Amino acid sequence: MSVLVVGLSYRTAPLDLLERAALAPSAARVLEADLCRSDNVAEAVVLATCNRLEVYAEVSKFHGGVADVGAALAASTGVPLGELTDHLYVHYEGAAVTHLFTVAAGLDSMAVGEQQILGQVRTALRDAQDSGAAARVLGHLLQVSLRVGKRAHTETGLDRAAGSLVEAGIARGEAVVGPLSAASVLVVGAGAMSGLAVATLARHGLRRLAVANRTAARGRRLAAAGGGTAVPMTALAQALADADVVVSCTGAVGHVVTAAAARAAVDARGGRPQVYVDLALPRDVDPLAAHVAGVTVVDLEALGRHLTSGGASHEVAAEVAAVRTIVAEEVAGYLAEQRAQAVAPTVVALRAHARSVVESELARLQQRVAVDESVRAELEQTVHRVVEKLLHNPTVRVKELAGEPGGSAYAEALRELFGLDLGRVAAVTDAAAVPDQTGLSIPAASTTGLAL
């Protein structure tokens, strides 16, 4: 079995496609369950965020796994497979591990180094484990990825150097309405992203902060945490008119702020400029609102262009390099661990084979020669000690060598030399070798836009 990643993100797909492919947590769990019932997938974890949709799967075959995941993605999102294909990336085995660790470390985010992705990976893992979709293989892999993410934030200065989507959005807002210390800001929504927005905004010393949320109690708690006031969604129209900057991230289906609502708000403001920072996917703010005079809409697509075109600080570069070193170390360590574990069944089979030979020969001896019981016991111990000593160095060395690239060849040599039962070590050969039909020459194959 091998690890496969199939996904699309802001790097490969336009915002409107990401919006159409967005999955709610409940839909992600259904997708995982469907995948685990498919022919080539044993485990599955879906990572669905505001700018990516990825499936991590333990698969028995590369091409079969890609086909199963592609079909399930199309069925769950409602986006035709042919349309998805041009925007999907596929990573396999070592490349899949590298991609996951890079994502968990925040290096693949729009705002490089942002910490929210680590919580999203943790939530995806927990939910998949609770449903039984993630077990030994993906459970362990994603746990290691969480450790990689923590190392990235604790062992480097990435947190201090890197910004966030919220900060980037706020900066764009200030460029239009001026310093936030003299501005009124409305946050729509009270989820994790909204909490990050309130915490970030509070550091700017706003003139006024308001929070609107469908669940009044959550809205009040978040507003209190930021020193602001809560407003009911029924009073959203007035709250929009009062705000110089609106940060919206509700996760609702459909537009929370329509173009008509934005026009009414700016009219009530006497034409004073207003900025909408839309951090939601699907989008909370109708894109047509950007055509209203006096209204500026900054959505994820605009933030992505800003952040990837040099809008982020160049101070991040050195910290990114340090994090990449951590990722490389962790990938090497994980793959070495997997290779070492893969050889274990061969060692077990070798020892079982030796034990079987010893017991068979001792039984023959017992039939041919009458041996006192105490002598027989001593003889058995002596023979077993001899066999253990003969096998000690080969088994220790094959475990050590298995941790190196190409180390599986040593286990294969043992199986051939001792004629071990291949049925006992089928799991090893499945995990260590790339199926012939993949057409890939190395385990760490990685493809972007692979035809499904």
Q: Which residues are catalytic?
A: 50
Q: Are 159 and 150 in contact (CB under 8 A)?
A: no
Single-letter amino acid, residue 72: A
Structure tokens at 398: 């094959």
Q: What does DSSP assign to residue 423?
A: G
DSSP 285: B
- Joined tokens for residue 79: 């986006």
Residue whose C-alpha is closest to residue 391's, from 351, 353, 341, 419 = 351
Fill in the amino acid letter for 288: L
What beta strand segments (E) does 2-65 contain?
Answer: 2-9, 41-49, 52-59
Q: Which of 207, 251, 204 minimizes the C-alpha distance to 229?
A: 207
Q: Which of 146, 218, 158 is nearest to 187 (CA)?
A: 218
52-59: strand order across its sheet:
41-49, 52-59, 2-9, 89-92, 446-448
The answer to whether 77 and 21 are in contact (CB under 8 A) is: yes
SS3 277: strand
Beta-bridge partner residues of 44: 57
Which residues have CB under 8 Å from 115's CB, separation 6+?
Answer: 106, 153, 159, 164
Tokens for 31? 């997708």
**Cα 342 vs. chain centroid, distance in angstroms?**
24
* Closest by Cα among 169, 445, 108 to 311: 169
Q: Which two tokens stand for residue 172?
A: 């764009």
Q: Are 425 and 344 in contact (CB under 8 A)?
A: no
User: How do the residues of the chain divide into helix, strand and coil, expressed in percent and rounded to 5?
Assistant: 60, 15, 25
Per the structure block, which two tokens stand in for 12? 């490969």
Residue 370 backbone dihedrals phi, psi, to 5 degrees: -75, 115
Cβ density class 366-381: b for 16+ within 10 Å, e for less:
eeeeeeeeeeeeeeee
Which amino acid does the sequence have at 135?
A: A
Three-state secondary structure call for residue 203: coil
